[in-house]
Amino acid sequence: MRLLVTGGRTGYLGRHVVTLARSAGHDVVAVGSADADLRDAAAVAGLVATHLPEAVIHTAYAQSDWAVTATGAAHVARACATYDARLVLVSSDVVFSGASGRYDESAPPDPITPYGAAKAAAETATLAMVADAVVARTSLILGDGQSPHERLVHSLLGGAEGALFDDEMRCPVHVADLAAALVELASSDHRGVLHAAGADAMSRLDLGRLIARRDGLAPTQLRGRSREAAGVRGPVDVRLDSTRAAGLLTTRLRGATEFL
């Protein structure tokens, strides 16, 4: 399969997708912001027209930039529809407010942050424009020692100021598991929304303590605090129900208690 991966040059998840897809024998085009500005519809269309991929895995985003995350995803979706490419959009659990706690694929997005709203808009554009698109919602991504969360834990245990949220429930996923699931979805017949998160729900503090134990550090030295105390707005309890993915995919999405 000829596969184009946005964020494939420098993105944390995108680089893992590129490596895994190439090792599986796919013809992979890794692209980054230097190849095409996602905010430029013509540039995105030109990129897809040049490479004519059979599928696109869209991992690229900018958390604080609506034009990249939402409008950029719409440009990717339009290009895929024009050039008949399957699209796998990576979305996030932050499309939910956290009011319901546990969410399956039937739950309507109700974001409470600008980033969550941008991701929800990206989902809408993708599903509206690409008939066989997949929206893969996921959670905290880590596992190889180089993720932002793992680096943060090491920084805190090295003496940096700060604490980890003890009230925010997420379903962390190993970056290699998620990359494999995305490549599998790109070559499958599945379409629509699919939750692809890890099997275990836990707070950022509990996740940090697992990372510390894995790396031979002192987990009890990590401090916790609530989102409210930190003055940071965001969903508190967004546990993705990935039961459907477990039955559909051959890739197993392990829980953090297992992979850490």
Mean pLDDT by 10 residues, the chain (260 residues): 97 98 98 95 98 98 96 98 98 96 96 97 98 97 97 97 96 98 97 98 98 97 94 94 98 98
Annotation says 83 is catalytic:
no
Cβ contacts of residue 45 below 8 Å, gap of 6+?
75, 78, 79, 82, 83
Q: Specify the pLDDT at position 37.
A: 96
Helix (H) or strand (E) run with residue 57 in it: strand 55-58
Q: What are the sequence ranges of the domains in the chain?
A: 2-142+173-198
Q: Which two tokens stand for residue 234?
A: 């965001």
**Cβ-Cβ contacts under 8 Å for 236 (sequence gap 6 or more):** 98, 167, 168, 169, 227
Catalytic, out of 61, 83, 103, 115: 115
Q: Are strands 169-170 and 202-203 parallel, antiparallel or unpaired?
A: antiparallel
Contact call for residues 83 and 94 (beta carbons, < 8 A): no
Beta-carbon contacts of 62 under 8 Å, excluding residues fewer than 6 positions away, are 68, 69
pLDDT at 228: 87
Please state the length of the chain.
260
pTM of the model: 0.97
In CATH terms, is domain 2-142+173-198 a member of 2.70.70.10? no
Q: Which pLDDT belongs to residue 110?
A: 97
CA angle 225, 96, 89 (to 5 degrees): 115
